[in-house]
């Protein structure tokens, strides 16, 4: 992910190749013509487009991204075009124009990893899409759980490691935050910058999970954005479940969970994640206990903490769910006769075992607000 002023842009070269493939393998001149059709004064010019599509430079004008959104005809703001992951971009384009993903990638000259090599290193197992759950901090949504989306993927430059992109849907519109996902010892930290004007950064501190990273668990901190008293700081627990869904698909179901019963709300949402969960109510009950534990006094006075033994007990169930999900997807009939209830542990009463850490993180809930306009991201009409 590269920075252009206040705006973070991602995978522009590959996205332009996908756009050209969408236009039936358009040449650079054809691409320019497509941009001129939506805006005769477009800043997408032929000379610079060669550098953009080769990844040698980035378009820095917000107007160009606005034109790009029009060319694609997506129901997404221009800010999303610039900042979304490549997988999310491809998913949205294919859905909007009824294109087959593999065929579009072949036409664009990209492999199924977006034309980038897989992450080399010991932390690549963290890459994936996670459904995130945390408590709303705004007084307008007190007592409700926010379901968001976190995608962890390789940075455009391999030396930069991993990046995380978090999205959520608020009453005022969609919001995004993105930044590096750093591993330090047995800790995973996401330092996320928001795209909404005036929104403060979000910090997420997690227990580093062992493979297969079915669950991320930790603390999220930031500043409440929708609060009549200003922007008070907060810290809260956050849980994230790995899902086989694409980020763009999961993003469309981001919301505040409606049910007043948190366990029932979580159970209903879990069943829509394409996971092989045979007892969603029991798993949801365990997740709820970890989001709002009754034994906060276990920590140091005045602190909010998460504990490794709690994570180990919970992740045992989540690992089984994820591994069984993978098995069902690779052999849909292979487990038909061996379905079993995945028991949710009774929190810290289970043995801690040997598998150390864990973690889960994604940026926050209603600390970010509003569907950001790209021009605001780069400081115009703020």
Neighbouring CB atoms inside 10 A of 104's CB total: 18
> 286 or 62, which is more confident?
286
The residue with tokens 């981001």 is 254
Best-predicted range by mean pLDDT (8-17, 52-61, 275-284, 293-302)? 275-284
> 321 or 51, which is more confident?
321
HEC string of the chain equals CEEECCEEECCHHHHHHHHHHHCCCCCHHHHHHHHHHHCCCCCCCHHHHHHHHCCCCCCCCHHHHHHHHHHHCCCCCHHHHHHCCHHHHHHHHHHHHCCCHHHHHHHHCCCCCCCCCCCCCCCHHHCEEEEEEEECCCHHHCCCEEEEEEEEEECCCHHHCEEEEEEEEECCEEEEEEEEEEEECCEEEEEEEECCCCCCCEEEEEECCCCCCCEEEEEEEEECCCCCCCCCEEEEEEEEEEECCCHHHHHCCCEECCCCCHHHHHHHHHCCCCCCCCCHHHHHHHHHHHHCCCCHHHCCCCCCCCCHHHHHHHHHHHHHHHHHHHHHHHCCCCCCCCCCCCCCCCHHHCCCCCCCCCCCCCCCCCCCCCCCCHHHHCCCCC
Best-predicted range by mean pLDDT (104-118, 220-234, 314-328)? 314-328
Bridge partner residues of 128 (DSSP): 152
- Domains detected in the chain: 2-116 (no CATH), 124-349 (2.40.128.120)
Q: What is the pLDDT of residue 332?
A: 52
Q: What is the pLDDT of residue 295?
A: 59
| Of 254-263, 294-303, 304-313, the least confident | 294-303
Q: Which two tokens stand for residue 20?
A: 């050209």
How do residues 168-182 score in pLDDT, each as one tens digit?
887 777 778 888 999
């Amino acid at each position: 992910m590269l920075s252009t002023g206040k705006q973070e842009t991602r995978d522009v070269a590959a996205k332009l190749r996908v756009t050209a493939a969408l236009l039936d393998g358009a040449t650079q001149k054809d691409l320019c013509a497509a941009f001129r059709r939506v805006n005769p004064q477009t800043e997408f010019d032929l000379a610079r487009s060669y550098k953009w599509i080769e990844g040698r430079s980035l378009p820095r004008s917000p107007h160009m991204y606005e034109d790009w959104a029009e060319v694609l005809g997506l129901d997404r703001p221009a800010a999303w075009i610039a900042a979304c992951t490549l997988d999310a971009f491809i998913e949205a384009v294919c859905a909007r124009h009824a294109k087959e993903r593999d065929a579009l990638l072949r036409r664009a000259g990209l492999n199924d990893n977006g034309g980038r090599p897989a992450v080399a290193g010991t932390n690549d197992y963290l890459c994936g899409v996670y459904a995130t759950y945390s408590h709303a901090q705004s007084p307008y949504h007190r007592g409700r759980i926010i379901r968001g989306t976190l995608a962890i993927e390789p940075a455009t430059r391999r030396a930069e490691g991993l990046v995380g992109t978090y999205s959520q849907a608020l009453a005022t519109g969609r919001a995004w935050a993105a930044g590096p996902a750093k591993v330090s010892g047995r800790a995973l930290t996401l330092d996320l910058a928001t795209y909404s004007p005036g929104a403060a950064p979000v910090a997420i501190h997690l227990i580093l999970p062992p493979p297969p990273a079915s669950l991320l668990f930790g603390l999220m901190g930031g500043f409440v954005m929708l609060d009549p008293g200003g922007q008070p700081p907060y810290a809260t627990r956050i849980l994230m479940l790995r899902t086989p869904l694409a980020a763009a698909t999961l993003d469309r179901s981001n919301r505040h969970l409606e049910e007043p019963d948190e366990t029932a709300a979580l159970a209903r949402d879990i069943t829509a994640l394409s996971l092989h969960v045979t007892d969603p109510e029991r798993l949801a009950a365990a997740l709820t206990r970890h989001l709002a534990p009754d034994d906060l006094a276990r920590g140091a006075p005045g602190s909010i903490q998460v504990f490794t033994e709690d994570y180990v007990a919970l992740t045992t169930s989540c690992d089984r769910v994820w591994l069984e999900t993978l098995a069902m997807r690779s052999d849909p009939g292979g487990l038909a006769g061996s379905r079993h209830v995945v028991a949710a542990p009774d929190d810290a009463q289970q043995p801690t075992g040997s598998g150390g850490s864990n973690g889960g993180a994604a940026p926050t809930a209603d600390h970010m607000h509003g569907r950001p306009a790209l021009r605001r991201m780069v400081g115009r009409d703020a």
